[in-house]
A and B are shown apart, each in its own frame.
Chain A
């Protein structure tokens, strides 16, 4: 229980830090970047929208920094992220709502696949220590970790999209011939558009899973109880899965949490190359369109998502591994 409280506490502190960072950044930049943008929209926004945006960016306010901060936090808590300037007059919240499902689908499914495939391969590689897989894997995936995410995406686009014409490589679905709905054609369209982006994300993120799993497996395999199990004559697969892998997976979970930041970066760049209509692509569009309210909200959303994932991973680790609970 104390452990959970401590983790929640950490979550709250980090959330507060992210909110404060979001608050301070536009105010710290030389020449408030929002100022020019705001004056462009001055005549078109309602007084409430204008006020909300002014609080978000600290423009035209004659109140102290502290009271701005309080109003800002109140706005954040009530979910008032302002009006989007690119998608005017839609509110930021509604705009994000349309994009978030695409990213959740892409990142969620790919992460699960990467986890399953990655840990599986890592287990096999560690078990067959010195085998072909094991000696091949580390250098291959060390190099793979250095490959920029967009390069993988571009190569896939070039091969499967442009040269072979096997798969579509732009957007989430075909905008001209399909309308969103639960029809079979639409779902098929969505799936076919998702294959290449998912594959790119899978290729770039699977390496960490394999390597971390392999490394922790190797350390675990050196443990006494494994040696004991071997001495007892238990079948190899049983030792591999029930004794070693189960214990080796735990550090993997924390590793997953740590690497989530990179999964997010990968998702943003891959969405950009494929013009996949998720929050990553929307963030980059907001940047290009100087839609600062949308940008801010997306950054907070991504941060909160990562935080929640880490919290969940931490609690899962605690539930599975009593040692962490007592270690505190």
Chain B
């Protein structure tokens, strides 16, 4: 017995020692002035590979914006407002078939080498030579790139593609020719010690954490104001959220459930903002014989209570979408509200939904499901990503809403890969989908949804047009938009595209997908806010993250 008590005392002492020495949450941002450290909270699900190749899809989020930068910053949240970065100005050639950039002088890479037009031309040629590096596919519209002066580069287009300015100028990081021309295989090049022109250098990278230090040669004088950044690798959402809630991380890109109770209630300096950027839509397979009837799709659009889906499934974080497919308030300037109102508004109206179904020749069967004279029932399966618990919750509400008007949908909660394996070849009846690409205007998303060039027959992989929508008139509109730089023409075309969404209902937007973003004003100012949306706020959005880093200042 004595032995046991002695042992117990040792254990207790050890635990006490551990508890006393446990590190209390250190106020890492407390030191004012030049020695402040900004800690980022973005759960990536894995440890860092310490590769910084800006053309490797898994590494772009830690390299572009920090170490590498583009020619021009284009702000999707302010209708494409531009900020010259490595390019000081640009002009479109006749017929918009060429684009000339004037490159900024006096820019140096972190190894001291000056950046010139040669590096810009080389970067684009690199993407042409190795298509695996061309993440945004700019060479699908470019024909050639030439250096037309020591500080001037001209790109020639094979087809009118004015909207591609975003991908060319904003989404292409410029790499140094003197380093990359010596790499044997740029596709698998890890780029562990990246040399770029951006505001930060990697110093050092470990699997658990990346530390960035300010680039002393950066071309903007006095920038960046924050000397050190820490980007830990979080493998679980909970830990990343907790770091924000305890103030140990100040810049978050996290989905936090119950954010008031979890986060904002903990300190008056904790804030969040979720700017909407893309639609999350219920997508019908238009080749399905029942769903090809526009009346059915219209009925569905009226039957779904979008505000309820937003409140219940997304805790109100993602606002309700509209049938015109224009994300508001981000692109409110493009929305033709009178058109939306006149076409019935597509508000929550189950009575109207039932009316439309009756018009289509359906009546309520004894089992509560709508059936037509031929005995065909309105029962469908809908594929969904089981991993996204908020999408699973969304579908629960949508199913309940549709059931109330007699349409039975059964959600299939799949893994990511199974979902893709069904979505791309059109192996589904209904799908719950969000597009991946954001752009400085609603055209980009609508183009992804509606352009027949982005679809494929059932069984083959469709790029983005999963519902197999194919309409020559709509294609003509989209091509017309691509050829013009006139804002008036662009607005008129988008109005007509909204008309397509309202009358043809090729898909049913339900909520608006948002950027998750949290920020702590205790030690830093200059954050993007709803009243000052100077950039997309999440740390993984590049090159917007660079703009945020350049605006931030320690208190």
- Kindly report which residue of chain A lies nearest to residue B40, judged by CB atoms: A176
Determine if A40 and B21 form an interchain contact, defined as CB atoms under 8 angstroms apart: no
- Kindly report which residue of chain B lies nearest to residue A173, judged by CB atoms: B23
Residues in A with CB closer than 8 Å to B243 are 175-176
Given the known A-B contacts A175-B243, A178-B23, are A192 and B18 also in contact in the complex, defined by CB atoms under 8 Å?
Answer: yes
Given the known A-B contacts A88-B58, A120-B4, are A175 and B233 also in contact in the complex, defined by CB atoms under 8 Å?
Answer: yes
Q: How far is the CA of A185 from the CA of B206 in the complex (A)?
A: 19
Asked if B486 is an interface residue, CB under 8 A from chain A, the answer is no
Given the known A-B contacts A120-B4, A176-B248, A289-B45, are A195 and B15 also in contact in the complex, defined by CB atoms under 8 Å?
Answer: yes
Given the known A-B contacts A116-B4, A180-B208, are A191 and B387 also in contact in the complex, defined by CB atoms under 8 Å?
Answer: no
Q: How far is the CA of A282 from the CA of B327 in the complex (A)?
A: 38
Partner of A87, one of B46, B206, B418: B46
Within 401-433 of B, Cβ neighbours of A (below 8 Å) are at 415-418, 420-421
Q: How far is the CA of A98 from the CA of B15 in the complex (A)?
A: 25
Determine if B235 and A168 form an interchain contact, defined as CB atoms under 8 angstroms apart: no
Asked if A179 is an interface residue, CB under 8 A from chain B, the answer is yes
Binary contact track A263-295/B, C-beta < 8 Å → 1, others 0: 000000000000101000100010011100000
- Kindly report which residue of chain A lies nearest to residue B7, judged by CB atoms: A116
Q: How far is the CA of A80 from the CA of B46 in the complex (A)?
A: 21
Shortest beta-carbon distance from A11 to chain B in Å: 33
Q: How far is the CA of A90 from the CA of B58 in the complex (A)?
A: 14
Given the known A-B contacts A40-B420, A170-B242, A275-B239, are A177 and B21 also in contact in the complex, defined by CB atoms under 8 Å?
Answer: no
Given the known A-B contacts A175-B208, A175-B243, A176-B232, are A192 and B45 also in contact in the complex, defined by CB atoms under 8 Å?
Answer: no
Asked if A188 is an interface residue, CB under 8 A from chain B, the answer is yes
- Kindly report which residue of chain B lies nearest to residue A121, judged by CB atoms: B4
Determine if B239 and A36 form an interchain contact, defined as CB atoms under 8 angstroms apart: no
Given the known A-B contacts A36-B418, A171-B239, A277-B235, are A87 and B249 also in contact in the complex, defined by CB atoms under 8 Å?
Answer: no
Partner of A167, one of B1, B19, B207, B421: B19
Determine if B47 and A87 form an interchain contact, defined as CB atoms under 8 angstroms apart: yes
Q: How far is the CA of A241 from the CA of B26 in the complex (A)?
A: 50
Asked if A174 is an interface residue, CB under 8 A from chain B, the answer is yes
Determine if A86 and B45 form an interchain contact, defined as CB atoms under 8 angstroms apart: yes
Q: How far is the CA of A193 from the CA of B19 in the complex (A)?
A: 9
- Kindly report which residue of chain A lies nearest to residue B243, judged by CB atoms: A176
Determine if A177 and B239 form an interchain contact, defined as CB atoms under 8 angstroms apart: no
Determine if B21 and A192 form an interchain contact, defined as CB atoms under 8 angstroms apart: yes
- Kindly report which residue of chain A lies nearest to residue B418, judged by CB atoms: A36
Asked if B236 is an interface residue, CB under 8 A from chain A, the answer is yes
Asked if A166 is an interface residue, CB under 8 A from chain B, the answer is yes
Q: How far is the CA of A105 from the CA of B489 in the complex (A)?
A: 67
Q: How far is the CA of A39 from the CA of B26 in the complex (A)?
A: 45
- Kindly report which residue of chain B lies nearest to residue A194, judged by CB atoms: B18
Determine if A175 and B209 form an interchain contact, defined as CB atoms under 8 angstroms apart: yes
Q: How far is the CA of A89 from the CA of B232 in the complex (A)?
A: 19
Shortest beta-carbon distance from B21 to chain A in Å: 3
Within 204-252 of B, Cβ neighbours of A (below 8 Å) are at 206-209, 230, 232-236, 238-239, 242-243, 248-249
Q: Quick one: which of B28, B39, B243 has the most chain A CB within 10 A? A: B243
Determine if A195 and B19 form an interchain contact, defined as CB atoms under 8 angstroms apart: yes
Q: How far is the CA of A288 from the CA of B387 in the complex (A)?
A: 8
Residues in B with CB closer than 8 Å to A113 are 11
Binary contact track A286-306/B, C-beta < 8 Å → 1, others 0: 001110000000000000000
Residues in A with CB closer than 8 Å to B20 are 188
Asked if B25 is an interface residue, CB under 8 A from chain A, the answer is yes
Shortest beta-carbon distance from A290 to chain B in Å: 6
Residues in A with CB closer than 8 Å to B420 are 36, 40
Q: How far is the CA of A177 from the CA of B46 in the complex (A)?
A: 18
What total of A-B pairs shows CB separation below 8 Å? 105
Determine if A90 and B14 form an interchain contact, defined as CB atoms under 8 angstroms apart: no
Determine if B49 and A188 form an interchain contact, defined as CB atoms under 8 angstroms apart: no
Q: How far is the CA of A49 from the CA of B290 in the complex (A)?
A: 45
Residues in B with CB closer than 8 Å to A176 are 28, 39, 209, 230, 232, 243, 248-249
Q: Quick one: which of A86, A178, A191, A281 has the most chain B CB within 10 A? A: A191
Residues in B with CB closer than 8 Å to A88 are 49, 58
Q: How far is the CA of A142 from the CA of B34 in the complex (A)?
A: 61
Determine if B238 and A170 form an interchain contact, defined as CB atoms under 8 angstroms apart: yes
Asked if B342 is an interface residue, CB under 8 A from chain A, the answer is no
- Kindly report which residue of chain A lies nearest to residue B416, judged by CB atoms: A290
Residues in A with CB closer than 8 Å to B132 are 43
Determine if B18 and A188 form an interchain contact, defined as CB atoms under 8 angstroms apart: yes
Partner of A175, one of B18, B234, B418: B234
Determine if A168 and B239 form an interchain contact, defined as CB atoms under 8 angstroms apart: no
Determine if B14 and A177 form an interchain contact, defined as CB atoms under 8 angstroms apart: no
Q: How far is the CA of A290 from the CA of B206 in the complex (A)?
A: 25
Q: How far is the CA of A176 from the CA of B248 in the complex (A)?
A: 7
- Kindly report which residue of chain B lies nearest to residue A177, judged by CB atoms: B26
Within 22-64 of A, Cβ neighbours of B (below 8 Å) are at 36-37, 39-40, 43
Determine if B235 and A285 form an interchain contact, defined as CB atoms under 8 angstroms apart: yes
Q: Quick one: which of B14, B22, B49, B236 has the most chain A CB within 10 A? A: B22
Shortest beta-carbon distance from A142 to chain B in Å: 24
Binary contact track A161-202/B, C-beta < 8 Å → 1, others 0: 000001110110011111110001100110111110000000
Shortest beta-carbon distance from A89 to chain B in Å: 7
Q: How far is the CA of A191 from the CA of B20 in the complex (A)?
A: 10
Determine if A175 and B22 form an interchain contact, defined as CB atoms under 8 angstroms apart: no
Determine if B416 and A189 form an interchain contact, defined as CB atoms under 8 angstroms apart: no
Residues in B with CB closer than 8 Å to A39 are 421
Asked if B472 is an interface residue, CB under 8 A from chain A, the answer is no
A185-B21, A189-B21 are known; give 5 further A-B pairs, CB within 8 A.
A36-B421, A86-B46, A87-B49, A175-B243, A185-B23
Which 6 A-B residue pairings sit nearest by Cβ, starting from the closest?
Answer: A188-B21, A191-B18, A192-B22, A36-B417, A275-B236, A175-B232
- List 22 interface pairs A-B (beta carbons < 8 Å), by A numbering: A36-B420, A39-B421, A86-B45, A87-B49, A89-B49, A120-B4, A174-B25, A175-B208, A175-B209, A175-B239, A176-B28, A176-B39, A177-B28, A184-B21, A188-B20, A189-B22, A189-B23, A191-B22, A275-B236, A275-B238, A285-B45, A285-B236
